Each structure stands twice: as C-alpha cells, then as structure tokens.
Amino acid sequence: MLRLVSFLAALLLPIASVAAQSKSKPEHPFSISLQGGPMLSVNENSFTYVDGGHASDLITKQAGLAFSYYFNGRFGTRLSGSYGRNAGGCNVDQTKDADNYYPYKFDGVNIFLDGLVNLSNEWKEFSSVFYIGIGVGHTFNFTESGHPWQRVSHKNTAYGARVGLLFQYDFSSRFGAYLDFCGEAYEDNYNGLEPYKGDHDQVYGSAGFPYDLRGLASFGLIFHF
C-alpha cells in the first residue's frame, strides 16, 4: 500500500506544479461541500455475506465534508473528511457455510488530500471532475463477530488511496450540486483483520485479500466563495 500511496503522491506533484504556474483563477476558487450516500465494503470474507443471502448488509451509509480550492480553470486540490459504518466478517474454509458466517460492523473516519482535474478545462453550468488522492483512515467501535478463534483488532490506522469522478451542476456562481463516484483502497488492517498473522495461523484456509476496498456513491451540495 505504501508503494501505491507513493505512486499517487507522485501523480499529484505535476498537478500542483502546473497549477502554480497559472495566473488565471475561477470567479470563486474556494468551496465547501457536504455529501453522503451508500457505501459498499469489500474485504476479507465478504463472500460470506453473499453466500448467506445477506449481500445487502455490505451496503452501509457514509457522509463527508470537504474544502476545495482551484488554482485555475483546470486544476485544484481538496481536503476531505468522512465517516461511515463498515461491514466486515470473520471466516475460514471450514466455517464458510451460510449458517456459520460471522459478520461484524465498525466505524471508520477517513481524511484524504485529492488532486482535482476539471475535464471541461473551464467552468460551465455542468462540469465533470476527475480526482486522485492519498489519505489515512482510522477504524474503531467494532461489534463482536463471535468467531471461535479469529481475533479482530478493535482500533486500527491504515494508509489509503482513492480515485473518483464527480459530475457537478452549478445553479449559480455560488451554489451547486453533484454526484460523486469513488473507489478507495486501504492497507489490510483497516477492517481489523490481517490474513496469516497471529491467530490466523492456528487453522489453515484463512480467507485473504491484499487490500480493504470501499466503493462510494454520493450526492452532494457545494457552496463557492
């Protein structure tokens, strides 16, 4: 994950460099936005939700607040924070039957720094914006899974990276709304489980996954100033 974060950080540098050389700015370069919507958790043992007929339980709610600044008509940056209730599960091959899956939920607070690219190259009523970002997430408030031996760490901090695309419509120069579609990847301890470590060595067949993933779809309101 650190390699992925470093790679995305390297991609952000050209955006900042080009933006700093431009003198043109939008009429209101600063903005604050509020957003929320559904979130899909994909990590270790998500298949147990599907196999047990509980796939909809992987979809939870999330909300966020963000501050943005555009250096010019194309490039900008955004600092955002979000909160969401995530879904996880304990399992091994011997206990993957629908009647024996071990779900749990946990809270996550995440902070990201994004590089923004306005694909329209100028602000119109409707604009599409691509972004990439690096960040960190902290998870806590875990419910008990009841698994006989797999232990879940109840407080975790993990680096993350994300990419996304938002579609924004401005009703005026001060106010707009948008749809934001985003995919996030975190280090494997984000959901409290790291395959093949600690208790996981006691029984063979631990279900492993290299990253903890989240897919988000949000509706937001944005205010320019």
Encode pLDDT of 79-90 as tens digits: 999 999 999 988
Among 182, 180, 169, 109, which residue's Cα sits nearest to residue 139?
109
**Helix (H) or strand (E) segment spanning residue 17:** helix 2-21
Q: Give domain limits for the chain.
A: 2-21+32-224
pTM reported for the whole predicted model? 0.82
Q: Tens digits of per-residue pLDDT, 148-162?
A: 777 888 899 999 999
Report pLDDT digits (tens) over 66-111. 999 999 888 999 999 999 999 998 876 555 554 567 899 999 999 9
Is it the case that residue 225 has pLDDT exceeding 80? Answer: yes
When the pLDDT of each residue in the chain is averaged and rounded to a whole number, the result is 83
Contacts of residue 124, defined as CB under 8 A and 6 or more positions apart, other chains included, come to none
Fold that domain 2-21+32-224 belongs to in CATH: Porin (2.40.160)
Contact 188, 195 (CB under 8 A): yes
86 closest CA partner among 135, 142, 33: 142
Q: How far is CA 4 from the centre of its chain?
A: 14
> Maximum CA pair distance of the chain?
63
pLDDT at 16 over 70: no
Q: How far is CA 120 from the centre of its chain?
A: 25
Note the pLDDT of residue 97. 53
**pLDDT at residue 215 in the model:** 97
- CB atoms < 10 A from the CB of 105, how many? 16
